[in-house]
Structure 1
Amino acid sequence: MTRSHVTSHVLDSTIGRPAEGVPLALDSLVDGEWMPVGTATTDADGRASELGPVALPAGIYRVTFDTAAYFSTTGTPSFYPEVSIVFTLAEESEHYHIPLLLSPFAYSTYRGS
């Protein structure tokens, strides 16, 4: 398995477990428009290791998590149907990990390692 330049890990804080089956999309901002880069779905450990290519140029990127799709599988309504995280990929030699801590009515994120 090849690891993407950008990866993610989603944890469902309401149950204290990884969030399996969350669809993600990675986009790049090019000339003011979002262009698709890659997609993935979190595995049984809540990880998305194959979200896009192994190398990306510096720029502005966005990861969008389809939280409505995930919560529909748990039978829990979700206030936020999606979560979009926009970030700057400044160092092409570094790996970028975007974790998401998720509940039906709140979320948080940080720069992971």
Structure 2
Amino acid sequence: MNSLKLKVELVELYSLKDFVEQNYKEDMLVNLVVEEIFVNIVNYSNADYIIVNIEYYDDLIIEFVDNGIKFDPTSQEAPKKPNDIEEAQLGGVGILLAKSYADELIYAYENGENHLKIIKKGYDE
């Protein structure tokens, strides 16, 4: 498993994107899921750091670890589909995207840290 510790700043998206591509491959959907989760942590967690772990053998496993406010994204309901653009609300899309992409989405709160694992089983290049 390869790890990267990031500051809780949006500018770190560049380092995160490079890290994902070095340890996996360029994949627009994976990049979008990773970006959405990272941005949510930056914007809402009050964390001091974010650690991203990537493991790829038969399954792709991406884990986010942060020491921010306890938050379980797996327990969140999907946002309601708006009837038109004027009813649309911001937020909730990153979690929905991760839930629809992942075969498993696992959350744990351990030792003052949020751990979110996104698992895509049998993911071939």
Asked whether the two chains share a fold, i.e. TM above 0.5, the reply is no
More helix by share: 2
Q: TM-score, normalised by structure 2?
A: 0.28
Q: Larger radius of gyration, structure 1 or 2?
A: 2
Q: TM-score, normalised by structure 1?
A: 0.30
